[in-house]
Structure 1
């Protein structure tokens, strides 16, 4: 069959109010995703000071390395599983049917994370990790579904900007996590006595501190709950309804109801399309290199990106931007970590996302990803080579270059690795393949969480637990991240440019239609020839 008229109408549709509504509805899911994932670095030191305080030493407590890695990384494990499961389910049941499941899971798990219970430190951390796994599972489902829905709603001319705008809400979520951390810690800070704490070390961790981390984590349920109703009101995407479910009439009705245009369900030919399966030989012939490119680039990007975010508080301490834990109370430390994260997000992370939104349909995905990996590598090396000098004599220059790595991550591969998998693959595999690509990224994030949280530690563990860091481990970690970004630069050449092409052109579905039509004509001609021959024989 030929390309359906409804799909052509979507590709040519003018930008309308409903497009912006879809961006907000899908984007609030990503706002919640980022808030939930990046609020945990704000409270990990507080958790250590509350539950692992040692009265014999009188020094601020800290999470053991294995507990720290688990608290930071367990949500990423859940995210990986959710991306694979919900990505597959989105192609089987439809995008809309699955979309609400992920959101409700995020709401319930965010609330439960803040209510983590137990009689011992180990039991509280175990409960917290359990709920954060399921929080990550819901977050994981949001990746392939939001990207696929937005790509299938958008027109060809502005598709990149629309998908990038959804993903840009991640930056706003990171900024909000820092802002909520500042507000909550400021509210409870009045209960904390002023330094010094050497008279009564317990005074640096008042009872109210336990409410701080719980309130910060539970706030993640608010934006998700606020958009649930609107998510359920969204119609199924026309491309799923027409190409996967095979109901062109319903697809036209759905799009006519939300777009200010009349869409006709017209099919110019009715030959049955011959479809190949996921991971079949034909799939790998057509899309094997594409899937390798999207998975490898996202994997390498997330090793660097999540590592940077998870140990940024250690970097700030190493260069003296954050005081050591022993010089401030537990709640004051939350405030200063939150403020540092907010400043970095406001000055580099958020602008990087929105520069991508404005430029991606002008200069293309490939160039943005390539230059992003390139400059991330350059600035990582710029931090590593003169590391000791910058740390001691030019901490401001260090922080500026560190911020620029976040800017070019977001005006670069952190945005494009999310966008391109939603464009390259056929509709019947789109959500699954995006989920696979995203899961590869989260595998990289898990390596960053579990691996680099160890690598960034000072060899003098006692000093680390006291809040000090010589930064030797951080320097080595930054060097490895620079090499990781360089590998991402070269893997980018596996991914084609997708700018200003329809989804059917990119996925090869138009070619499938043409091939099926040709095969149908050949079969019809053969049948006609056979009938003619049989007719001739009967006359004889």
Structure 2
């Protein structure tokens, strides 16, 4: 750990390790001290790859949890037609969102103060706990209302875990990818985070259809429990690898665990925070209710409301997002982050407005309606549906990246919760077409926020911003400890030892 003073800022930022540099007040003095054992670059690189893989595998389970409720909402409407009202459906769905907001804020702070690995392990355990409780949910004496309150609590716990995954996985994956390759950081980050997160949608629908086909439409109680239960498996598979990984080198070098200069950080990043938090709020405000209630919308335009047909159309709808993700990955480097966001918002705007204006005619042609609905999601996935995590991780310095990313993501989930709450009233009072028209209006606001408040960090090394941030702190008189002792040292013999 390094004692940080004004004159040592630049020298520190350029050093290889927090334990290799020491600074004096009146002169810059970098002393390279030999260690008995050093972290092997080969082993460190392997840890970087493991970090990215662990983030990807964890986030696909988040995508599953975010999407599985889509079809379970339809199941509950069939099982409890007079009880599972839109109010209760919204409450159960929003429990995950409220939990995610808390998880994003709490784990965002935690992974800055205690380390990326600590955040990843805690979120994994919470997802497992919440999924177990949801699978075992019962109401007292078979009460449906008791069941839904039990599910509300279980989904809230799951939400704290899935919400915490956003800052923990994205910050660690971004920093590890930065160590592997700065030039291709964006595409790799997108594939390992939002790419697999969105794959959770088709995965949830495939699992639902398989379980429904195996159990049959007469055993819907079994169907929804098994679907929740399968969500326990992915986080259990990844927890061992997360416990073995190192925190990324950028974090080990630049962590500030005591006397964190939040006020100075906010003064430096307030404009960027308006952009990342505001844009994420607008995007989740329109996309989340469209995802959560998409199966309900589709079932309403299918003549008999058949669950299997609804699930099949829902699966088709969810696969439309995949081409959008691929296009976004291909464009984020040559066009840059901001222009790619513009394209995504503009595409979503066009399709949402088209569906909204022609809603009554489109709903009479189910295939055309689903295709246009899917194209709307696909267009959004090119930009904000794909890049929000990336543009919320890149602009901030490593010591506060988790915190500011968590705040941005929390605003996003707040937007999702608000959107889910107002979705039903908009349909009831203005008509379903207006949910799409409102979405197009929000897309326009998203373009404006992106233009004025989100910096384009394409190709910029995280270490460069870290150096500028440290110099900024020094210029403003902040002093304190930077960096941490390595959690472990990987020796040439591949043994893992605790550093003294």
Question: Normalized against structure 2, the TM-score is what?
Answer: 0.82
* Rounded Cα–Cα distance in structure 2 between residues aligned with 1:20 and 1:500: 20
Aligned pair partner of 1:174 in 183, 189, 201: 201
Map residues 439-518 of structure 1 onto 2, 5 A cutoff. 439-457=410-428, 473-493=431-451, 494-506=453-465, 509-510=467-468, 512-513=470-471, 516=474
Q: Which residue of 1 aligns with 2:315?
A: 342
1:361 partner SS:
coil
Question: 1 CA distance for matches of 2:253 and 2:70?
Answer: 44
Tell me the SS of whatever aligns to 2:113. Answer: helix
Residues 317 and 500 of structure 1, relative CA distance in 2, 3 Å threshold: same
Paired residue for 1:29? 58
1:142-192, Cα deviation, whole Å (9 max, x unpaired): 000111001111231111112211221012111110000000000012xx5
Displacement of 1:98: 2.1
Match of 1:147 among 155, 166, 170: 170
Tell me the equivalent position of 2:488. Answer: none
Query: C-alpha root-mean-square deviation of aligned residues, in Å?
Result: 2.6
Alignment of 1:113-512 (within 5 A): 113-118=134-139, 119-154=142-177, 155-166=181-192, 167-189=194-216, 206=218, 208-244=219-255, 277-278=261-262, 280=263, 282-318=264-300, 320=301, 322-325=302-305, 328=306, 333=307, 335-346=308-319, 348-392=320-364, 394-457=365-428, 473-493=431-451, 494-506=453-465, 509-510=467-468, 512=470
Question: For the Cα contact (< 8 Å) 2:74–2:296, is it kept in 1?
Answer: no
**Equivalents in 1 of 2:357, 2:472: separation in Å?**
56
Which structure 2 segments of 5+ residues have no match? 1-8, 18-40, 479-500
Shift of 1:236: 1.3
Post-superposition offset of 1:519 = 8.9
Contact in 1 for aligned 2:107/2:119 (Cα 8 Å): yes
1:294, 1:495 within 8 Å by CA — same for their partners in 2?
A: yes
CA contact (8 A) 2:64 2:204 kept: yes
- Distance 1:224-1:339 versus aligned 2 partners, 3 A rule: same
Return the alpha-carbon distance in structure 2 between the equivalents of residues 363 and 432 of structure 1: 28
Secondary structure at the aligned position of 1:106 is classed as helix
Distance verdict in 2 for CA 1:505–1:115, change over 3 Å: same
Deviation at 1:28, TM superposition (A): 1.4
User: Is the 1:355–1:411 Cα contact (8 Å) retained in structure 2?
Assistant: yes
Contact 2:50–2:245, Cα closer than 8 Å, also in 1: no
Change (3 A) 1:372 1:518: closer
TM-aligned CA deviation for residue 454 of structure 1:
3.6
Structure 1 residue 336: deviation in Å? Answer: 2.6
Q: Secondary structure at the match of 2:333?
A: helix
- Give the whole-Å Cα distance in 2 for the aligned partners of 1:145 and 1:111: 22
Alpha-carbon distance change, 514 to 100 in structure 1, aligned in 2, over 3 angstroms: closer
Contact 1:311 1:456 in 2 (8 A): no
Cα distance between partner residues in 2 of 1:432 and 1:518: 21
| Contact 1:23/1:165 (<8 A) preserved | no
Shift of 1:19: 5.1
Checking the alignment, whether the CA contact within 8 Å between 1:6 and 1:238 is kept in structure 2 is no
Q: Decide which moves more: 236-245 or 138-147.
A: 236-245
Matched residue SS, 2:117: helix
1:65, 1:454 within 8 Å by CA — same for their partners in 2?
no
Partner of 1:92 in structure 2? 113
Structure number with greater Rg is 1
Q: What CA distance in whole angstroms lies between the structure 2 residues aligned with 1:515 and 1:324?
A: 64
CA displacement 1:284-341 (0-9 Å, x = unmatched): 44211000100000000001110210121233234x3x3334xx4xxxx1x3332222
Q: Is the 8 A contact 2:67 2:201 kept in 1?
A: yes
Change in 2 beyond 3 A, CA 1:480/1:188: same
Aligned to 2:129: 108
Partner Cα separation in structure 1 for residue 473 and residue 68 of structure 2: 51
Distance in 1, matches of 2:122 and 2:469, equals: 35
Is the contact made by 1:302 and 1:442 (CA closer than 8 Å) also made in structure 2? yes
TM-score of the pair, normalised by structure 1: 0.76
* Structure 1 residue matching 2:375: 3-state secondary structure: helix
Q: Deviations over 1:56-94 (max 9, x none)?
A: xxxxx5621210111111111100010000101111111
